[in-house]
Amino acid sequence: MGRKSSTITLSFEDRAYLETQTKARTIQAQTVARARILLLKADGYSIEAIADKVDMNRKSVMLCINKFNEGGIENALFDAPGRGRNAEITDDEKAWIISIACQKPVDLGYSAEVWTRALLTKHINKFAEEAGNTRLSTISQSKVRTILEEADIKPNKIKYYCENRDPDFDQKMHNVLLVYKQLSLQFDENGELLPFGDDDQIIHVLSYDEKPGIQAIATTSDDLLPDDNHSTISRDYEYKRLGTISLLTGIDLQTGEAIPLVKESHNSNDYIEFLKLLDNKYPKEDKIRLVLDNLKVHSSVETRKYLATVPGRFEFVFTPKHGSWLNLVEGFFSKMTRQMLKGIRVKTKDELVERIYKYFEEANEEPVVYHWKYKLDEIDPNEEVQVETLPLEKSS
């Protein structure tokens, strides 16, 4: 009885690479033959059948397969140093591959912003001979991946960072941290707010920001609640956009109270309305200090005109440009997104507004006082906070 021939296993990428080798016109005939051997063996052909198809003796076929099993495709296709073609890719060739990977494909005439392994390999194959790296005209995707991994280059990924565009970044950050440091001294070791003295100038400190573009989205059919057959809520993929709203929020950093104002927009008039809300909330003899960003409406002509009507009432500490992470209200917005806004569906925009106000009511039932810790040990609390009472006009 005949015995079934053993096979070798090729990945999709390896098979594609070998098929490319069999069609190439610029490589040695023996390389083409060896590529055919591996493809035929992967398809289950016997040693005798392969030898007959590639017109080689049985020993040469077995040697090629053994070299594959020992060291992979490159080892099987190309002879080791001293025996004809060198299978090793030189450092100069690797450097050329890396130099291509470190460029954007769009800068080389492609539509893509970042490389895929297939596109990068295709480009290398196409231009290798022109660049004097003929050996690389048939390099495989797997080999390109190995070279990039060894160099710790990931041209298919984007890692975001924040460019420092504020020449006064360090000074402004220090000023914000000074506010937080002085706040930390207003709490006892149990985290309880210490009472103000009779002669103290009371300053209410708030972290303020806007969250614009919150979408009101409606479903086109009712959600299906979990039951015996479905472990999750089931929802139709289709939805309807009902418009957007903006949320203006201040977090009282001494009490943890979250103060909302929901509007259709977030222009100067909306911001002034929020300031008036604060003015009516706190005793008139107290100061209100806001930590906020450099959005233009915060120092617009309209805003400065309003502040001139309440001289000395408000103080402003501006975060550096691209320093919104210094603003503690961002943590509240993140928590709100996770707890309430994620996946929310409403029937009307008014319902979204009502549910946002409801969320604030729930949050204020057990308010959380936000504390800052990063780099506070480096801050001298006896310094004087630099504040603005009637901010000059700024660019956003």
pLDDT of residue 86: 45
Q: Are residues 132 and 16 in the same domain?
A: no
> In the chain, how many domains are there?
3
Residue 6 within a domain: no
Last residue of a domain, one of 77, 106, 132: 77
Residue 394 within a domain: no
pLDDT of residue 2: 39
Q: How far apart are CA 263 and CA 278, in angstroms?
A: 16
% of the chain exceeding 70 in pLDDT:
94
Residue 58 within a domain: yes
CATH of the domain at 308: 3.30.420.10
Residue 301 within a domain: yes
Q: What is the mean pLDDT of residues 7-35?
A: 84
Q: What is the mean pLDDT of residues 155-166?
A: 83
89-98 LR contacts (CB < 8 Å, sep 24+) = 89/135, 89/136, 89/139, 89/143, 89/147, 92/133, 93/133, 93/135, 93/136, 94/147, 94/151, 96/131, 96/133, 96/136, 97/124, 97/136, 97/139, 97/144, 97/147, 97/148, 98/147, 98/148, 98/151, 98/153
Q: Are residues 316 and 344 in the same domain?
A: yes
Radius of gyration of the chain (CA): 34
Q: How far apart are CA 299 and CA 268, in angstroms?
A: 9
Which is more confidently placed, 331 or 160?
331
Q: Are residues 264 and 320 in the same domain?
A: yes
Strand 258-263 and strand 239-252: the pairing is antiparallel
Q: Are 63 and 56 in contact (CB under 8 A)?
A: no
Query: Which tens digits make up the pLDDT trace of 44-81?
Result: 999 889 999 998 898 889 889 888 888 888 888 887 65
Query: Which tens digits make up the pLDDT trace of 131-157?
Result: 888 778 878 888 899 999 999 999 999
Residue 157 within a domain: no
Q: Does residue 224 surpass a pLDDT of 90?
A: no
Q: What is the mean pLDDT of residues 305-323?
A: 93
Q: Are residues 113 and 215 in the same domain?
A: no
Query: Which tens digits make up the pLDDT trace of 91-120?
Result: 899 999 999 999 999 999 999 999 999 999
Match 């023996």 to its residue by tokens: 30
What is the pLDDT confidence band of residue 291, given thresholds at 50, 70 and 90? Answer: very high
Domain that holds residue 112: 91-150
Q: How far apart are CA 329 and CA 180, in angstroms?
A: 13
pLDDT of residue 81: 55
pLDDT of residue 29: 81
Q: Are residues 49 and 130 in the same domain?
A: no
Q: Does residue 213 surpass a pLDDT of 90?
A: yes
Query: Which tens digits make up the pLDDT trace of 230-282?
Result: 899 888 889 999 999 999 999 999 999 999 999 999 999 999 999 999 999 99
Q: Are residues 142 and 274 in the same domain?
A: no
Last residue of a domain, one of 46, 77, 108: 77
Residue 374 within a domain: yes
pLDDT of residue 26: 63
> What φ, ψ does residue 235 adopt, rounded to 5°?
-135, 140
Q: Residue 91 contacts by C-beta under 8 Å, 6 or more apart in sequence?
A: none
Q: Does residue 396 surpass a pLDDT of 50?
A: no
Query: Within 10 Å of residue 81's Cβ, how many Cβ atoms?
Result: 10
Amino acid (1-letter code) at residue 100:
I
Q: Virtual CA dihedral for 99, 103, 106, 108, nearest 10 degrees? A: -30
pLDDT of residue 308: 95
Q: Does residue 164 surpass a pLDDT of 80?
A: no
pLDDT of residue 6: 73
Q: Does residue 346 surpass a pLDDT of 90?
A: yes
Q: Are residues 186 and 323 in the same domain?
A: yes
What is the pLDDT confidence band of residue 395, given thresholds at 50, 70 and 90? Answer: very low
Q: Are residues 67 and 97 in the same domain?
A: no
Residue 3 within a domain: no
Residue 7 within a domain: no
Instruction: Tell me what the pLDDT averaged over the chain comes to.
Output: 89
Last residue of a domain, one of 52, 77, 102: 77
Q: Are residues 46 and 176 in the same domain?
A: no
Q: Are residues 253 and 315 in the same domain?
A: yes
Q: Are residues 350 and 373 in the same domain?
A: yes
Q: Are residues 279 and 216 in the same domain?
A: yes
Q: What angle do CA 163, 164, 169 make, to 5 degrees?
A: 155
Q: How far apart are CA 28 and CA 8, in angstroms?
A: 23
**How is residue 94 written in tokens?**
């690797």
Query: Which tens digits make up the pLDDT trace of 357-385?
Result: 999 999 999 999 988 988 999 999 999 99
pLDDT of residue 3: 44
